[in-house]
Amino acid sequence: MLAAEPFSDRAGTVSPVIGAFLRTYNDGLDDARRQDLYPIASLVVGTAAGRGVEDERAARCLRFARSLGTRPPGGRAAMGMATPEAAGSCGALAALRTGPSAEAHAAALTFVRELAELEAGGRWRRRRRLPDPARAIEAALADYAPHETAGV
């Protein structure tokens, strides 16, 4: 819908690492926190990239998991963590294991934004002068919420 392609939780225009992170994270959240993912949807469209960028995103997911106290598997099982699905899911599961606490939830949302801005060579994308669409949606939802309950 956002990417002008058939509806799927594995959109071709979304980074497979980011997609795996968001699918896993979404499935473990309560309804209230899941609402925080809506603004992220427009941000991740168009993030699919080449192998180098996706490998860097996968590595960052594993570092994110370690920063939250989760140790990725060792030995032969560690080879499987090199795949986009496993690395993204590992990062999301680490955040979910915290409860997720408010701090870990905020860190997860910030982390997804950082992954979305990563480009070749581990560099961050240059910021456009246009506002971040995810932040614009968040602001619109915040403006709408008080009006919605005012008449109740």
3 within some domain: no
- What is the residue whose two structure tokens read 């699918």? 23
- Which CA distances in Å does 132 have to 41, 47, 56, 120? 12, 14, 23, 20
Domain count, the chain: 1
Tokens of 123: 């560099």
Q: Are 21 and 88 within 8 A, CB to CB?
A: yes
Mean pLDDT taken over the chain: 78
Whole-number pLDDT of residue 51: 86
Q: State the residue range of the domain holding 69.
A: 16-150
80 within some domain: yes
The whole-angstrom distance between residue 143's C-alpha and the CA centroid of its chain comes to 24
99 within some domain: yes
For 7-11, 79-83, 136-140, 144-148, which range has the lowest pLDDT when averaged over its residues?
7-11
Over the stretch 50-63, which tens digit does the pLDDT of each residue have? 888 999 999 999 99
Flag whether the pTM goes above 0.95. Answer: no
